[in-house]
Chains A and B, each alone.
Chain A
Amino acid sequence: DTEVTQTPKHLVMGMTNKKSLKCEQHMGHRAMYWYKQKAKKPPELMFVYSYEKLSINESVPSRFSPECPNSSLLNLHLHALQPEDSALYLCASSQLRVPGELFFGEGSRLTVL
């Protein structure tokens, strides 16, 4: 069983909606990640938080807005998405050590109509 919990598992939204994806981990990891994955493609990095501060933003459009309220929680706020944003959104966490394995949640399947 994964120790990274993502909600919701499935989300359908219109292009004008505002919604959020949530992620929680209780492994004491100080790095948390958002990845986007399309069918038959590898996970694509979106954002990295280290010690609750945004450390990497892979030039993601502003309609995706990450937030890290504390060391256990990570949110991804969604607004004015496009149908091509439909994908599996994966949250992951890792320790900040060498090397640090990524532990993934089960993902949130997003469909934008």
Chain B
Amino acid sequence: EDQVTQSPEALRLQEGESSSLNCSYTVSGLRGLFWYRQDPGKGPEFLFTLYSAGEEKEKERLKATLTKKESFLHITAPKPEDSATYLCAVQAEGTNKYIFGTGTRLKVLA
């Protein structure tokens, strides 16, 4: 069964304290892995697409990486405005369905 697991469930960081979020997946043929940021009461905002092992993408303080089993979202020197829930989703081959993980709630303290 296709599955996505994110850890940790919640993370509190001091401003400037770098860390990584994990997304482990089991899927029968990966079409793509996606990272989203979601602020409370808003729709998820697309961040990155990764679709082959070894691929990396960067945007400001965020860097996403992909292996055959997991993806990491590295946050370098985070700021309070990076506080949000970060969602990981995978799209399996032969389907138009996206399987979401339960997310990591990130809180960055000033």
Contact = CB atoms under 8 A, between A and B. Distances in A.
Interface in A7-66: 31, 40-43, 45, 48, 50, 55-56
A48 B42 contact: no
Contact of B31 (A45, A99, A107): A99
A87 B96 CA distance: 23
Interface of A: 2, 4, 6, 31, 40-43, 45, 48, 50, 55-56, 88, 90, 92, 94, 96, 98-107, 109
Contacts of B101: 42
Given A42-B102, A56-B96, A107-B41, A99 B46 contact: no
Given A99-B49, A99-B51, A50 B43 contact: no
Given A45-B97, A48-B97, A56-B96, A100 B32 contact: yes
A98 B44 contact: no
A12 B11 CA distance: 33
Task: Bin chain B's interface residue count.
Answer: 20 to 34
Interface of B: 31-32, 34, 36, 41-46, 49, 51, 87, 89, 91, 96-98, 100-103, 105
A106 B42 contact: yes
B32 A99 contact: yes
A102 B46 contact: yes
A95 B11 CA distance: 33
Given A43-B100, A48-B97, A56-B96, A99 B91 contact: yes
Given A41-B102, A99-B51, A102-B89, A107 B42 contact: yes
Contacts of A42: 87, 100-103
Contact of A98 (B32, B87, B105): B32
